[in-house]
Structure 1
C-alpha cells in the first residue's frame, strides 16, 4: 500500500480496510493454506510487502495454518508502527523499513509466503519482473491482492464518467521519478512474468462493491479518483466540482452504487519449500 512515489495516510487505509477485507478472494487464501499443509514445527514466515497499517495481515493470518512470523515491509515507519501493534495475537511480527523493490531471492530465503495488497499497480514492469523472479527462486507462495484493473462502474451513470475513468487510468500509468507505473496493466504483467519463470498463476476478481452503507469510503475515493483524473487532464478541472457534487448528492440519497475493479493473483510453486 505504500510504495515509491505513492504516499498514503492512516485515515485512508482505515476507511478502506472493511471494503478491502470484503473484496479479497478468500478462495486464493484457501489454496495457500492447502499448499502449506499442517504445520507442527517452527512458525511459517510470511512477508507482507507495502503493508501499510497491516490490513493484509489481519485478513490473512487467520486463514493460514499454524504459528506464523510476519515480516512487515514498508517505506513509512509510522505506518509500520501501527501495523506491528495491530497484528493478530497468535502471530509474531517485526518490521522492515526500506525499498521493497530491491528484495532478491537471498533475502527471501526461508519465506513461505509473500503477499501484498494494493501494491502491484504502483510498480514498474522491471520491478515486477525482479520481484516475481525473486519469489520464484525462493520457492515462495505469492499472493498479490487488490490490484486495480481499470474498471469502474458507477450507477446511475453520468455523461462524464467515461472521461474521468479514462483520465484516471492514464494517470495510473504515469511516470514518477523516471519510473513508469503499470497501473491497470499490473496483473497481466505479473502473470506473464511468473509464466516466464515456469510458475502458473490463478487470478480471481476482487472488486469493491460500494453502496448506501459505504458513503464514508465513497466520498474520499471519488474525490481522489477525480483529482487524479484532473491531474492527468487539466481540462477536466472545470467540470470536476459539479460532477463531484452530483455524485455525492446521489450518494447522500442512497442512490449511488460503485464497483471498482480489482484482481487478486496467486502463484504457487509445485512443491512447498
Structure 2
C-alpha cells in the first residue's frame, strides 16, 4: 500500500487513505465471499476462520473486512515493516459481524520470501493495494502459494491505470501516462506490474482453475477529502516527473494550479482501482 511515487510505506499516508479505501472497496464481492465461506464455516469450541493478510500495513483491511464476516476469526498480518505491524496489533478489529471475537497476530517477513507453507491452513487470503507493486515473478509465487492453500482470496484496490479529473487540463493525459509508466518501472532489474496487475493476476489464478470475479473500486475524491486529494496529487505528479523529467517545467505550474483547485473545493478526482475475488474452482490444480 504505497504512496504514489514511493517504494516505502508511510503510516500517515495509510491513515489518510483508510477511509477512502473503505468507501471504495466493492461490497458485492464481500457478499459473494460470505456465500462461499458459509458452508465451510468453522463450528465447535475453538473453531475460527483463519485469514492471512499480505502486505497488511497498519491493518486497515482487517478493520474493514472482519466486521463484515460472521463468526470467530483469527487474522495473521504479514508485512516487512515492524512499526506498521505494531500499529496494526494496537488497533485490531473490534468484533465480527455477529459479535464473535476477532484475534490478530503479526508476522514480520518480506513477501518476496512467501512460500506455500506460509498459507497452509488459511481459509482466506487478503491483500489491499498490493498487486500493482509486484513483479510478474512475485505474482506467480503468490498465486502458487495461494493454490497450495486452496482457499478464497480477496485482493482489493489494485491500480487500474485510469484517472479522471474535473475540471480537465491539457496536461492530464501526459501526467497520467507518465505515472502509469512509473508504476511499470524496473526495480532491481525486474519490472513492476503496475496497472497491468489485475489482468495478469486474473490470468495467473485462472491457470490454476480458479474462478475470478472483478469489480471496479474507484476512489472518489473531492472537497470532503481535500487532505487526501492534495497528498495524492502531489505524489501522482512527482512520480510522473520522476519517470519523464522533461515534464518538470510544465508540471510545476500544473500542480500549483491543481492544488489551488483542491484548496478551493473545485477539484474532483476519480482514481480507478480493481478488486478481485478469487475462489477455488472444481478443477483447480493443487
Q: Provide the alpha-carbon RMSD of the alignment.
A: 1.5
1:198 pairs with one of 209, 214, 217 = 209
**2:36 matched residue in structure 1:** 35
Deviation at 1:137, TM superposition (A): 2.2
Does the 8 Å contact 1:2/1:76 carry over to 2? no
- Could you tell me which runs of 5 or more consecutive residues in structure 1 were left unpaired when the two chains were aligned: none
**2:22 matched residue in structure 1:** 21
- Could you tell me which runs of 5 or more consecutive residues in structure 2 were left unpaired when the two chains were aligned: 95-100
Per-residue CA distance 1:58-81 (angstroms, 9 max, x = gap)? 000011121011100111000000
Aligned residue pairs, count: 270
Distance, in Å, in 1 between the alignment partners of 2:33 and 2:144 is: 19
Distance, in Å, in 2 between the alignment partners of 1:66 and 1:263 is: 27
**2:98 matched residue in structure 1:** none
Aligned residue runs from structure 1 range 47-62, under 5 A:
47-62=52-67
Q: Tell me, yes or no, if structure 1 residue 185 matches structure 2 residue 223.
A: no
Q: Tell me, yes or no, if structure 1 residue 172 matches structure 2 residue 175.
A: no
Secondary structure of 1:150's aligned partner: strand
Secondary structure of 2:249's aligned partner: coil
Q: Tell me, yes or no, if structure 1 residue 107 matches structure 2 residue 118.
A: yes
Distance, in Å, in 2 between the alignment partners of 1:109 and 1:137 is: 7
Q: Tell me, yes or no, if structure 1 residue 65 matches structure 2 residue 70.
A: yes
> TM-score normalized by structure 2?
0.91
Superposition misfits of 4+ residues, deviation over 6 angstroms:
none
Distance, in Å, in 2 between the alignment partners of 1:65 and 1:270 is: 23
Does the 8 Å contact 1:49/1:72 carry over to 2? yes
1:83 pairs with one of 85, 88, 109 = 88
Deviation at 1:2, TM superposition (A): 6.0
Does the 8 Å contact 2:76/2:107 carry over to 1? yes
Aligned residue runs from structure 1 range 100-139, under 5 A:
100-139=111-150
Distance, in Å, in 2 between the alignment partners of 1:73 and 1:176 is: 22
Secondary structure of 1:251's aligned partner: helix
Does the 8 Å contact 2:85/2:106 carry over to 1? yes
**1:9 matched residue in structure 2:** 10
Distance, in Å, in 2 between the alignment partners of 1:29 and 1:84 is: 24
Per-residue CA distance 1:57-109 (angstroms, 9 max, x = gap)? 00000111210111001110000000111111331111111112322222211
**1:231 matched residue in structure 2:** 242
Distance, in Å, in 2 between the alignment partners of 1:64 and 1:270 is: 22
Distance, in Å, in 1 between the alignment partners of 2:259 and 2:58 is: 28
Does the 8 Å contact 2:51/2:74 carry over to 1? yes
Distance, in Å, in 2 between the alignment partners of 1:86 and 1:35 is: 28
Does the 8 Å contact 1:71/1:96 carry over to 2? yes
Distance, in Å, in 2 between the alignment partners of 1:19 and 1:63 is: 17
**1:216 matched residue in structure 2:** 227
